[in-house]
Amino acid sequence: MKNFDIVIVGAGISGAVLAERYAAIGKKVLIIEKRDHIAGNCYDFVDENGILTSQYGAHLFHTNDGGVWEYVNRFSEWYPWQHRVIARVDGKTVPIPVNITTVNILFNKNFTKEAEMQQWLAENRIPFDEPRNGEEAVLNKVGEVLYEKMFRHYTKKQWDKYPAELHASVLDRIPVRENFDDRYFSDRYQALPKAGYTKLFEKMLSNPNIMVLLNTDYFEVEDQLGDYDKLFYTGPIDRFFNFRKKLKEKLEYRSINFVTEHLDQEYFQENSVVNYPGEEVEYTRIVEYKHFGNQQSAKTSIVKEYTVDHGEPYYPVPNDKNQEIYAKYKAEADKLTDVYFVGRLANYKYFNMDQAFRNALDLFLQLERRDTVRVANS
Ligand SMILES: Cc1cc2nc3c(=O)[nH]c(=O)nc-3n(C[C@H](O)[C@H](O)[C@H](O)COP(=O)(O)OP(=O)(O)OC[C@H]3O[C@@H](n4cnc5c(N)ncnc54)[C@H](O)[C@@H]3O)c2cc1C
Residues 102 and 167 in one domain: yes
DSSP string, 201-250: HHHHT-STTEEEE-S--HHHHGGGS---SEEEE-S-HHHHHHHTTS--PP
220 and 329 in a single domain? The answer is yes
* Residue 306 Cβ contacting ligand 1 at under 6 Å: no
- CA 298 to ligand 1 centroid distance, Å: 32
DSSP 315: E
Task: Tell me what pLDDT residue 367 has.
Answer: 96
333 lines ligand 1 (CB under 6 A): no
Question: How high is the pLDDT of residue 377?
Answer: 53
Atom of ligand 1 nearest to the CA of 83: 8
Same domain flag for 235 and 274? no
Question: Are 212 and 11 within 8 A, CB to CB?
Answer: yes
Question: Could you tell me if 349 and 303 lie in one domain?
Answer: no
- Tell me which of 308, 328, 347 is where a domain ends: 308
In this structure, are residues 284 and 276 in contact, taking their beta carbons and an 8 Å threshold? Answer: yes
Is residue 131 lining ligand 1, measured as CB closer than 6 Å? Answer: no
Domain limits at 147?
A: 98-172
Kindly report the CA angle at 151 between 145 and 154, in degrees rounded to 5? 135
User: Where does the pLDDT of residue 374 fall: very low under 50, low under 70, confident under 90, or very high at 90 and above?
Assistant: low
For residue 371, is pLDDT > 60?
Answer: no
Atom of ligand 1 nearest to the CA of 57: 1
Confidence (pLDDT) at 125: 95
Ligand 1, pocket-test mutation among 36, 59, 83, 287, most atoms within 8 A of CB: 59
Stretch 13-35: mean pLDDT, rounded? 98
State the pairing for strand pair 285-288/300-308: antiparallel
User: What pLDDT score does 340 carry?
Assistant: 98
How far CA 123 is from CA of 127, 220, 266, 301, in Å, comes to 10, 59, 44, 43
Local confidence band at 245 (pLDDT 50, 70, 90 cut-offs): confident
The answer to whether 249 and 325 are in contact (CB under 8 A) is yes
User: Does 343 have pLDDT greater than 80?
Assistant: yes
| Total domains, the chain | 3
Last residue of a domain, one of 289, 308, 327: 308
321 and 232 inside one domain: yes
Are 335 and 89 in contact by the 8 Å Cβ rule? The answer is no
- Which residue's CA lies nearest to atom 7 of ligand 1? 59
Distance 350 CA to ligand 1 centre (A): 10
- Between the CA of 42 and the centroid of ligand 1 the distance, in Å, is 7
Backbone angles phi, psi at 267, to 5 degrees: -135, 150
Average pLDDT value for residue range 347-370: 94
The finding on whether 134 has its CB within 6 A of some atom of ligand 1 is: no
Query: Strands 230-233, 339-341: parallel, antiparallel or unpaired by DSSP?
Result: parallel
Residue 94 bridge partners (DSSP):
87
Residue 378 has pLDDT above 60, yes or no: no
Same domain for 242 and 116, yes or no, is no
89 inside domain: no
Asked if the model's pLDDT at residue 373 lies above 90, the reply is: no
Same domain for 217 and 334, yes or no, is yes
Same domain, 47 and 163: no
Does residue 1 lie in a domain region? no
pLDDT tens figures, 57-78:
999 999 999 999 999 999 999 9
| Closest C-alpha to 276, from 83, 92, 121 | 92
Atom of ligand 1 at shortest range from CA of 35: 47
pLDDT, tens digit, 9 for 90 and up, residues 291-331: 999 999 999 999 999 999 999 999 998 888 999 999 999 99
Average pLDDT of the segment spanning 257-270: 97
Q: Is residue 90 part of a domain?
A: no
251 HSE (CA, 13 A, CB side): 33
pLDDT reading at 277 higher than 60: yes
> If pLDDT is split at 50, 70 and 90, which confidence band does 247 have?
confident
From ligand 1's centre to the CA of 9, what distance in Å? Answer: 12
Pocket test for ligand 1, best of 9, 33, 36, 41 (most atoms within 8 A of CB): 41
Cβ–ligand 1 distance for 42 under 6 Å, the answer yes
Q: Are residues 165 and 61 in the same domain?
A: no
Residue 142 included in any domain:
yes
For 158-216, the pLDDT digits (tens) are: 999 999 998 898 888 888 999 999 999 999 999 999 999 999 999 999 999 999 999 99
Atom of ligand 1 nearest to the CA of 59: 8
Report helix, strand or coil for 83: coil
% of the chain exceeding 70 in pLDDT: 97
The closest-lying atom of ligand 1 relative to the alpha carbon of residue 56 is 1
Please return the burial class of 209, using the count of CB atoms within 10 Å of its CB with bins 0-12, 13-18 and 19+. middle
Is residue 25's pLDDT more than 80?
yes
pTM over 0.85: yes
Q: Which atom of ligand 1 is the closest one to the Cα of 305?
A: 1
Whether 246 has a pLDDT exceeding 80, the answer reads no
Pairing of strands 44-46, 52-54: antiparallel
Q: Are 335 and 186 in contact (CB under 8 A)?
A: no
> 153 and 230, same structural domain?
no
Confidence at residue 370, expressed as pLDDT on a 0 to 100 scale: 59
Q: Between β-strands 285-288 and 273-275, what pairing exists: parallel, antiparallel or unpaired?
A: antiparallel
Mean pLDDT over the full length of the chain: 94
Q: Which of 290, 308, 326 is the last residue of a domain?
A: 308
- Tell whether ligand 1 has an atom less than 6 A from the beta carbon of residue 359: no
Q: Are residues 242 and 324 in the same domain?
A: yes
Query: What pLDDT is stored for residue 169 in this prediction?
Result: 87
Shared domain check, 223 and 360:
yes
Query: Residue 1: which pLDDT band, with cuts at 50, 70 and 90?
Result: low
Residue of 37, 347, 350 lying closest to 212 (CA atoms) = 37
State the DSSP code for 42. G
329 lines ligand 1 (CB under 6 A): no
60 Cβ inside 6 Å of ligand 1: yes
| Minimum mean pLDDT range among 283-292, 334-343, 362-371 | 362-371
| Rounded mean pLDDT, 2-10 | 94
CATH of the domain at 226: 3.40.50.720
Q: How large is the C-alpha radius of gyration of the chain?
A: 22
Task: Identify which of 279, 256, 222 has the alpha carbon closest to the alpha carbon of residue 4.
Answer: 222
Binding site membership of 57 for ligand 1 (Cβ less than 6 Å):
yes
pLDDT at 376 > cutoff 60: no
Confidence band (pLDDT; 50, 70, 90) for 372?
A: very low
Tell the residue nearest (CA) to atom 4 of ligand 1. 59
* Atom of ligand 1 minimally distant from the CA of 354: 11
Please, where are the H alpha helices in the chain?
Answer: 13-24, 66-72, 100-107, 114-124, 134-142, 144-146, 153-159, 168-172, 197-204, 218-221, 237-243, 320-335, 353-368
